[in-house]
Chain A
Amino acid sequence: MENFKNKFKSALNNIFLGKSEAPLLLLVYIIILVIFFSLNNDYLRLNNIKNILGNLSIPAILSVGLTPVILSGNIDISIGSTYALSGIVVGLLYRVADIPVPVAILAGLLIGLIVGAINGLLVIKIGVNSIIATLGMMSMIRGVIYVIGRRVMKIYYQPFLNLARIYIFEHIQIILIYFLVFFFIMYFILKLTKFGKHLYAIGADEKIASFFGINIRRNKFITFLISGGAAAIGGVLSVSVIGDVTVSFGSGTLLFEVITACILGGISVAGGRGSLIGVFVAIFILGSIRSGLVLADVPINLRELIFGMILILALVMDSFRVRKRGLSEEL
């Protein structure tokens, strides 16, 4: 209990003494809110806020799921297609194979874990670079989606639709609750369990981590399971929100939004550094920017361009941070 109190105190210290990115991000966030509000007064209306929160909830789940992977020094760019595949599987099983919805949902989630396991195998057992492995998987999964998903699958089953569409206390969408629950679980795992600390250690310096007896392979494998599972959860929830599944489910921009949220939130690409709190704020920032741009009538192509540039900005910021800490002497 004492230990916990101390840790809580030091966490507060970190946030307010400027050791984490969260305060700076918060400041940026407030500035952004002000700017967009001045451009369009509808921005801070309850309706729009609900809109923003609803739209960011599912990508947020994926970002939280991706964070452990990046922390331990890898990356998973197949999450977009895993997300889509899970949705398609649920749709197929329910509409085409007439399998009861709960079973279909379980199957969808299982698919996410399977993909995560394959990614883990490729990266850890076979030794392929994680971006290459997940790039290959992404491509293959897309092909699978096109082959099996070539039909529109509308879902009318109300309980399933309710899974993601109901509101708590009249205004809070349940997917937001799902995200918050997932976020707190992950935060707890990363900050307060041995597993979480091992991940940070592995990301920071693998050799020393293994020297201390940390099972690098197993831990890294688990991170891929997490990212695959989170992507699957997102996919299933998305199907419930949208109500049907087609081949174009989960297009390209999702992946970049998720990655941008992680990196903007301070999760260093070099691994071993960054906090979920930063990711949390980054998620809100990105969601708010998106909504603000839409309300300011910025055309969609330009919006995508802006988000791409935000990612680049986040990457550059990250590399400056890494250099300042002297972590990257490599050529």
Chain B
Amino acid sequence: MKIKKIKPSIPLILFFILIAIFIFFSIIADNFLTFRNISSLLKNMTVMGIMAVGLTPLMIAGRIDLSFGANLSLTTVFMALLYGGSLGIGFKEVEEAVSSEYFDTAGGSTSLWLVVIIGILIATAIGAFNGLVIEKIRVNPLIFTLAMLSVLQSVAFVYSNKMSIFVGTDEVYNIGELEFFNIPVSIFILFILLLIYWFFLKFTKFGRTIYAVGSGAEVSQLFGINVKGTRIILYTLVGFFTGIAAIIVFFNTGIGSSYHGELLLFPTLSGIVLGGLGFQGGKGSIISSILGVLILAFLVNGLKTLGIQSDQIQIIQGAVFIGAVSFYAIRERK
């Protein structure tokens, strides 16, 4: 008679860890439990959260995308250029424009709404491109998205001359600082997206095919599931969510920069990995990913309020990443 070993559910464990960290830092660090700190923390983490939500189903389906950070950077740069009124075709023009105080003025030549729409389109298109090349030409997904990271980053550098483009007009900041009941709008956006996607993944047929594709691609194909098509859609959705994240970054900071994404890439990945999202596929949930991102955000923020410097925090982040991946890898083996 086999005795079934009860595995404690990961989201539950993560939730407890989150609470534990929260309590820990509230006691230890003076400035942690202030309204300002927590709201700034949540505001920063919404961007990572949104990208994590977009990335999770893709990874459940057994694929990865490392280029979403650069995608975000590129999108913000283009949005800033469009809004600021100069999308130079020649690179010399952009160099001159950006080096002068060109963008420091109010208003732009492209309406803000149009900028937002184009931003989402660009990001989504990049996601779709990734999906098409990976699935149709069948390049190695990891290395290809790594290469795309470099390419997208380079394009962003070209168009911004490696500088930040400041377009922080009143129009932009007004939207960026919108709040409902004192909570920034971006958190609501994250919440809504989270709910929609979670529901979608758990209760619809398409959601279940995502798990199927991740667990066994050949078998799914035999059962009539369009594996490649599914993955292409998921890649496109990663692009879409990255676009939304880019918009939020744009409105929050008023800056289009090729460095936005670089800073967000690793923490987002770490959060997802903390949530137990295996790179093999078939396992994982949006809740776990978000909890992972939250845990990491609280951890980093807590350490900062304790006075630990960013460099040391990065080491800890790397260690957490490795620790989490190792933990889940060992768990998988058993």
Known A-B contacts A133-B325, A305-B155, A315-B147; A143 and B318 likewise in contact (beta carbons under 8 Å):
yes
Indicate if A131 sits at the interface (CB-CB under 8 A). yes
Chain B residues touching A, majority SS: helix
Indicate if A296 sits at the interface (CB-CB under 8 A). no
Indicate if A309 sits at the interface (CB-CB under 8 A). yes
Known A-B contacts A136-B322, A143-B312; A304 and B217 likewise in contact (beta carbons under 8 Å):
no
Determine how close the nearest CB of chain A comes to the CB of B310; give it in whole angstroms. 8
Interface centre among B155, B157, B313, B325 (most CB of A within 10 A): B325
**B314 touches which one: A142, A252, A331 (CB < 8 A)?**
A142
- The 8 A CB mask of B217-231 against A (1 = contact, 0 = none) is 110010000011000
Known A-B contacts A308-B147, A331-B217; A315 and B140 likewise in contact (beta carbons under 8 Å):
yes
> When the two chains form their complex, are residues B146 and A319 in contact, meaning their CB atoms are under 8 A apart?
no
CA distance A312 to B151 in the complex (A): 9
Indicate if A301 sits at the interface (CB-CB under 8 A). yes
Indicate if B329 sits at the interface (CB-CB under 8 A). yes
Q: Which residues of A contact B111 (CB under 8 A)?
A: none
Indicate if B304 sits at the interface (CB-CB under 8 A). no
Determine how close the nearest CB of chain A comes to the CB of B94; give it in whole angstroms. 10
Q: Which residues of A contact B312 (CB under 8 A)?
A: 143, 147
Q: Which residues of A contact B22 (CB under 8 A)?
A: none
> When the two chains form their complex, are residues A140 and B322 in contact, meaning their CB atoms are under 8 A apart?
yes
Q: Which residues of B contact A248 (CB under 8 A)?
A: none
Determine how close the nearest CB of chain A comes to the CB of B209; give it in whole angstroms. 14
> When the two chains form their complex, are residues A331 and B326 in contact, meaning their CB atoms are under 8 A apart?
no
CA distance A108 to B314 in the complex (A): 22
Q: Is the interface on chain A under 10, 10 to 19, 20 to 34, or 35 or more residues?
A: 35 or more
Q: Is the interface on chain B under 10, 10 to 19, 20 to 34, or 35 or more residues?
A: 35 or more
Q: Which residues of A contact B313 (CB under 8 A)?
A: 143
Indicate if B138 sits at the interface (CB-CB under 8 A). yes
- The 8 A CB mask of A134-146 against B (1 = contact, 0 = none) is 0111011111101
Indicate if A127 sits at the interface (CB-CB under 8 A). yes
Known A-B contacts A129-B279, A143-B312; A305 and B154 likewise in contact (beta carbons under 8 Å):
yes
Q: Which residues of A contact B143 (CB under 8 A)?
A: 75, 131, 259, 263, 269, 315
Indicate if B330 sits at the interface (CB-CB under 8 A). yes
Known A-B contacts A139-B266, A301-B162, A304-B154; A319 and B319 likewise in contact (beta carbons under 8 Å):
no
Determine how close the nearest CB of chain A comes to the CB of B134; give it in whole angstroms. 10
> When the two chains form their complex, are residues A127 and B332 in contact, meaning their CB atoms are under 8 A apart?
yes
Indicate if B110 sits at the interface (CB-CB under 8 A). no
> When the two chains form their complex, are residues A147 and B228 in contact, meaning their CB atoms are under 8 A apart?
no
> When the two chains form their complex, are residues B151 and A308 in contact, meaning their CB atoms are under 8 A apart?
yes
Q: Which residues of A contact B162 (CB under 8 A)?
A: 301
CA distance A139 to B263 in the complex (A): 12
Determine how close the nearest CB of chain B comes to the CB of A121; give it in whole angstroms. 9
* B contact set with A: CB distance below 8 Å: 91, 95, 133, 137-140, 142-144, 146-148, 150-151, 153-155, 157-158, 161-162, 217-218, 221, 227-228, 266, 269, 273, 279-280, 309, 311-319, 321-322, 325-326, 329-330, 332-333
Given contacts A308-B151, A315-B144, 6 further A-B contacts (CB under 8 A): A77-B146, A259-B143, A269-B140, A299-B91, A301-B154, A308-B150
Question: 5 nearest interchain CB pairs?
Answer: A140-B318, A143-B314, A143-B315, A308-B151, A305-B154
